[in-house]
Structure 1
Amino acid sequence: MLILYVAPRYHTNQIPITEGLLKAGYQVRFLAMYKGVSENYEALKPDILKTPIILRTVYKIIRKRRGEVYAENWMLRNYKPGYIQILNYLRTSKPDIVILRERSRQSRIVHACCKLLGIRNVILYNQNPINADEWRGKRLKQMLAKIVFPKVRYSPVKYVNLLNSSYSSPTIPVNSHAYFAPFVQEVNIIPEEKKYVKDGIIRILDVGKYRDYKNHKILVEAVSLIKERKNFHITIVGQVSNEDEQEYFDSLASMIQDYNLQGKFTLLKNIPYRRMKELYTDHDIFVLPSKKEVASISVLEAMSNGLCTISTDNNGTAFYVLEGNAGLIFDNTSAKDLASKLVYFLGHQEEISYYGKNALNYIRENCGFEKYLERLRHIVRKEFKSDI
């Protein structure tokens, strides 16, 4: 049984899925557009599509003029693999199940090639909430999407906007072919061995690329409101792989200096994936301050290491924190609200371990690989009348 995943790149959230499937005896391949900077290929090395010369040339020009981030987003929007390349790849690999990431040009072409070759077990994976009406006001696009993309979809996100006063949690998705399948995250620490607030210092961790949307600066603003507090320290870990990210990193460091908070913050960059466990283990609280996060995997990584979590409300995985009673949610536009959440834990240290242990229990019961495989089997059985 060969399962083929197709996505722009081999994201770190694919690692536990790949490892679990391989351990369970499945064959796994991954077809990607490009290699990312902070990827780990210990379990699987992805196959990389060839980029047309014209597209590579335009990409280099845009990167030089507009920066790496803009060029990367442009490539994601405009990349279109050749039909012959995809057909040859599918004929050679002979996948039993194909899982496509997002409704993109890449996915559209791969899906068309699957149809030509009679590969019927094709599933779309995205991170839109399963109860979302993806096509509200876009009925023409919906009609076209039904033709060029798989009708079956799964997502690791149930619902978002948890602080919205009109928020509700429908149990039945709008699309009957939309399913929930959790992010795969195993518990990474023995609960009894997790030590909180060592030496009387509360250690807070923030993980995210050094880019504006990650909103690290709101955390600095929040700390500036409570800087008289003495019993905490914050570590920010992020990727710096281009001029844009270096510029943001430098700006963040300057902001910390301007607020005279050098003693409160440590900034780290380009930490290897396998070293992250040590950082999670050494910290007590995890903060995700992003302006908008489709579905942060770092929240799950933090929970799996027993960290009490404070998540922005505009994050697709915030519901894991809510359902697991694993921390608090804050308004991503308010440094004052974030500061109030920090103050609460600084003044109630016993709550840190309470939420941290809840996080471990939730991950163990809801996010293990077997839960993901169970949901995938359910989807294949119900939609394609077959088994894996």
Structure 2
Amino acid sequence: MHFLYTAPRYHTNQHYPVSSLLAAGHEVSFLVLRRGKSETYEAVEPVVLGTSRFFDLIRRAASLVPGIGYSDVGGLPPVVRFILEVRARRPDVLVVRNPSSMFGLLAVFASKVAGSRLIFYSQSSRHFGADSSSRFLVRLLCRATDANWFTPVFSVSGSHPSIDDPVRYVPFVIPGQLSADAKRWFVSGTVNLLAVGKFEPRKNHCLFLDAIAALSQRHRVSATIIGECSTRRHRRELARVRQYRHRLGLDDQVTIELNVPFAEVQSHYSRHDVFVLASRDEPAAVSPLEAMAHSLPVVCSDTNGTRCYIRPGENGYVFRTDDLDDLVDGLDGMLACREGLVDMGRRSYELVETEHAPARYADSLVAMASKRRQVAFERR
């Protein structure tokens, strides 16, 4: 089958899903509005369409408003070019990111022109309340377009979704990268913690620094922060984080690395012992899963959509968002026993092998593409 994806950009969280389809013998294309600063194109090179002149003017005007960045405003590609690109490829399946956006709705129209099956993809929870208006709208859109819908987020409510929820759960996937037994632990005799995230306030890098300062009173720890710094807002936040690191006396203990390529980020996982995602309101972070594939115990906040990949007490900890005491308590308990940390890392790797194997993604999309609209799916 030929799968054609449409999305604002080719995010690195699509690298392994796309690779799984290619490994299964399928063809994959990607049409995007723009390039990001930290993408990898080893699996597929996206076609960058840009935005129409009209929406480009809107984006530029919006970027003048304090607190709004140029890339924060949704866009629309040149309409004629986009439809011609879809028709020329004649994909069997069109995978549409965020179908309720203007770009998504245009992609729905293009799928009808090309005669392609539709699959919708979002990073919201698959679970909706029984009386939720969102449930009704999702069902209505799926029925009107004869589409299936999937998300890598199982549930954000803590409750188990019912079997008739309209969105299918297909988790992020990744092959195991480094087993716990093959990994070199506690380099230089310290517990080495890693954080990955753009330099934005909601990534909570300063909260992570506070946690390192507190843990240093009881444990030998060092840390690395890897982050994208490509905009004026990023540079402002980077300066704030560096100043805060200096104020806490952590200049020699915490390393900050900027704009690290995807492949090098993967190697950083193998050189660290614990992964911490301190950010708030994270729709669906893939970095915890990447860390798990390298046998790291993982910690994230309870507003990260992919916290469902963590088994608290088995391979990590989920702390209350913005709660320093809870973050420190969780990490303190984990660091108290280094053998226990290794066991947690081993469990992370097991979960990757059993629940996030790449073949699961390819099989799920082929099943959705081969059948008419379906909603039932049970978590394995």
In the superposition, the TM-score normalised over structure 1's length comes to: 0.89
User: Aligned match of 1:126 in 106, 122, 126?
Assistant: 122
Please name the residue that 1:52 is paired with: 52
Please name the residue that 2:369 is paired with: 380
User: Aligned match of 1:114 in 108, 111, 114?
Assistant: 111
List runs of 5+ in structure 1 lacking aligned partners. 162-166
Distance, in Å, in 2 between the alignment partners of 1:127 and 1:319 is 13
User: Aligned match of 1:308 in 297, 316, 322?
Assistant: 297
1:161-310 map, 5 Å? 161=157, 167-175=158-166, 178-310=167-299
Q: Does structure 2 conserve the Cα–Cα contact (< 8 Å) formed by 1:308 and 1:359? A: yes
Please name the residue that 2:352 is paired with: 363
Q: In the TM superposition, what whole-angstrom CA distance separates every residue of 1:160-195 from its partner, at most 9, and x where no partner exists?
A: 25xxxxx322352422xx211121211011442112
Please name the residue that 2:377 is paired with: none
Q: 1:292 to 1:134 in 2, by over 3 A?
A: farther
How many residues were matched structurally? 373
User: Aligned match of 1:104 in 101, 104, 111?
Assistant: 101
DSSP 3-state at the match of 1:317: helix
User: Aligned match of 1:88 in 84, 92, 104?
Assistant: 84
Q: 1:207 to 1:135 in 2, by over 3 A?
A: farther
DSSP 3-state at the match of 2:318: strand
In the superposition, the TM-score normalised over structure 2's length comes to: 0.91
Distance, in Å, in 2 between the alignment partners of 1:139 and 1:310 is 30
Q: 1:224 to 1:294 in 2, by over 3 A?
A: same
Q: 1:148 to 1:85 in 2, by over 3 A?
A: farther
Q: Does structure 1 conserve the Cα–Cα contact (< 8 Å) formed by 2:156 and 2:305? A: yes
Q: Does structure 1 conserve the Cα–Cα contact (< 8 Å) formed by 2:33 and 2:76? A: no
For the aligned residue pairs, the C-alpha RMSD in angstroms reads 2.4
Distance, in Å, in 2 between the alignment partners of 1:16 and 1:114 is 25
DSSP 3-state at the match of 2:372: helix
Q: 1:179 to 1:323 in 2, by over 3 A?
A: farther
Distance, in Å, in 2 between the alignment partners of 1:118 and 1:157 is 29
Q: 1:43 to 1:174 in 2, by over 3 A?
A: closer
Distance, in Å, in 2 between the alignment partners of 1:59 and 1:38 is 22
Please name the residue that 2:69 is paired with: 70
Instruction: Report deviation, 1:66.
Output: 4.2
- Bigger Cα displacement from structure 2, 14-23 vs 97-106: 14-23
Instruction: Report deviation, 1:317.
Output: 1.0
Report whether the alignment pairs 1:325 with 2:314.
yes
Q: 1:60 to 1:311 in 2, by over 3 A?
A: same
Q: Does structure 2 conserve the Cα–Cα contact (< 8 Å) formed by 1:83 and 1:113? A: no
Letter in 2 for 1:4: L
Distance, in Å, in 1 between the alignment partners of 2:130 and 2:89 is 32
Instruction: Report deviation, 1:337.
Output: 0.5
DSSP 3-state at the match of 2:351: helix
Please name the residue that 1:164 is paired with: none
Q: 1:317 to 1:140 in 2, by over 3 A?
A: closer
Q: In the TM superposition, what whole-angstrom CA distance separates every residue of 1:28-79 from its partner, at most 9, and x where no partner exists?
A: 1000010111111222110111422343344345446647x622112x2xx1
Q: Does structure 1 conserve the Cα–Cα contact (< 8 Å) formed by 2:176 and 2:352? A: yes
Distance, in Å, in 2 between the alignment partners of 1:372 and 1:302 is 19
Q: Does structure 1 conserve the Cα–Cα contact (< 8 Å) formed by 2:300 and 2:317? A: yes
Q: 1:43 to 1:249 in 2, by over 3 A?
A: same
List runs of 5+ in structure 2 lacking aligned partners. 375-380
Instruction: Report deviation, 1:144.
Output: 7.0
Distance, in Å, in 1 between the alignment partners of 2:232 and 2:104 is 30
